[in-house]
Chain A
């Protein structure tokens, strides 16, 4: 069957904070219900994470806080450094280059051309001293687009498609509501048409009507532009709505992966069963 297309291949991704011993990985994890090494006190954020993402696919990552789900996307977006393991991006160099080990200049190139990131807190993804349009322009400039007219045009197009009132594009995000800030952040993240977008708890803290609006927008962007996405959320309803496949994490490990409807209706791992049975 022809399903071997891939966009991102992650193998053995591991990130440990602090001094670790040879036993650190063996003595942490869901079995011990801890990600702290009993010998050295090191914290295991992610251990031996393996997965493949296909072009245009939406992959969910669920887990409790501290399970390593945010660390995982932060590592892939180079917000966190020095992990072990590898990640390869299709279309970058010869497809086999470990992007975690390239130079900082190359990492910037990847961030500006191949990826986008939407953080839970709009302040992490936006510069609040710049106007909303300016924030989008910044991303476009980094991606090598220097024509002011076309930048403004693209910015208004993006704001329009994320339902941010275009006449307000010269205001700073400070004067926007939380939901609007989030939509500006998404506009910025997709400004350079990245094939890969990371979304970290993007609707957490928004009220339900705004949440539905943001989720609906993400779904549309995915359908229309065929962007592959990794959606991190502790909210199973968000995962159900957006994703085809889901990874469940606990204590820095993947405890289960599968089709999203299977994870929700026939969870295999005890932790996933607890998670699903706790759903309101």
Chain B
């Protein structure tokens, strides 16, 4: 089967010029791949480099070394480590989404619109996009009273649901998720897990960070563990 993503020799170091050029090696020399329609879980302690890895792929961070070969539906093979800003923006708009740990709220935009805008930027009309956004929010169990409210005052779990809905509503070809179930109750956790599995069945490849053993067990086809920025080789069983 085709690899959606193939990472080769990926390293990221942060050079902090304002701290006398102090260097932090966040991830070092990573090699791995994700097959089409596969969910790979990313495990490891805080500070192991999990989020940095995801950010390198999404290009919120600029990799220091290595290749990230992404097999785009639309544009063919692209090295995300070297792609220019416009290529990255085009991919983010059409097929690669990132669900971060925290919702960065835009003031005065309602919950519905925060979610709907992902579809609008793909060319859907506002009317349709809002309709579909409602379906997602209702599936995720977000109280209907909150749909037209501004998320800045929502609880952690409510914001998380909006975040998840926003990332999956456009049915991306490649999904990056950071702790999707961290502040959710068991029932909502199961709903999120099922929604991601649903996407997988439609061909989406997923890289998912989670500290939650339950989520990991139910979501991941395979787990990669990071320790001090390196992949821990699985013990032979």
Contacts and interface: CB of A to CB of B under 8 A. Distances in A.
A and B form one complex: yes
Interface residues on B, range: 20 to 34
A170 to B, nearest CB: 28
A270 B107 contact: no
A223 B17 CA distance: 37
Interface string B106-126: 111100000001001100000
Contact of A262 (B62, B104, B120): B62
A270 B18 contact: yes
A268 B60 contact: no
A3 B90 contact: yes
A212 B18 contact: no
B109 A259 contact: no
Interface string A240-253: 11001100000000
Contacts of B209: none
B126 to A, nearest CB: 9
B85 A259 contact: yes
Contacts of B17: 269-270, 273
B59 interface: yes
B108 A213 contact: yes
Nearest to A237: B107
A273 B16 CA distance: 8
Contacts of B59: 259, 262
Contacts of A223: 117, 120-121
A54 interface: yes
B147 interface: no
A258 interface: yes
Nearest to A245: B85
Contacts of A262: 59-62
A244 B89 contact: yes
Interface string A259-270: 101100110111
B78 A259 contact: no
B94 to A, nearest CB: 11
Interface in B109-145: 109, 117, 120-121
Contacts of A216: 106-109
A279 B230 CA distance: 31
A8 to B, nearest CB: 14
Contacts of A277: 18
Contacts of A268: 62
Contacts of A241: 106-107
Interface residues of A, number: 25
A274 interface: yes
Contacts of A270: 17-18
Contacts of A269: 17
B87 A266 contact: no
A1 B90 contact: yes
Given A1-B87, A216-B107, A265 B55 contact: yes
A269 B75 CA distance: 31
B88 A259 contact: yes
A258 B59 CA distance: 10
A212 B108 contact: yes
A14 to B, nearest CB: 24
Contact of A259 (B16, B18, B89, B120): B89
A55 to B, nearest CB: 12
Nearest to B83: A1
A141 interface: no
B54 to A, nearest CB: 12
Contacts of A240: 104
Interface of B: 14, 16-18, 55, 59-62, 75, 78, 84-90, 104, 106-109, 117, 120-121
Given A259-B85, A266-B62, 16 more contacts: A1-B78, A3-B86, A3-B90, A212-B107, A216-B108, A216-B109, A223-B117, A223-B121, A241-B106, A259-B60, A261-B60, A262-B59, A265-B60, A266-B60, A274-B18, A277-B18
18 contacts: A1-B75, A1-B87, A54-B86, A213-B108, A215-B107, A216-B109, A219-B106, A223-B120, A241-B106, A245-B89, A258-B85, A259-B85, A261-B60, A266-B55, A266-B61, A268-B62, A270-B17, A274-B18
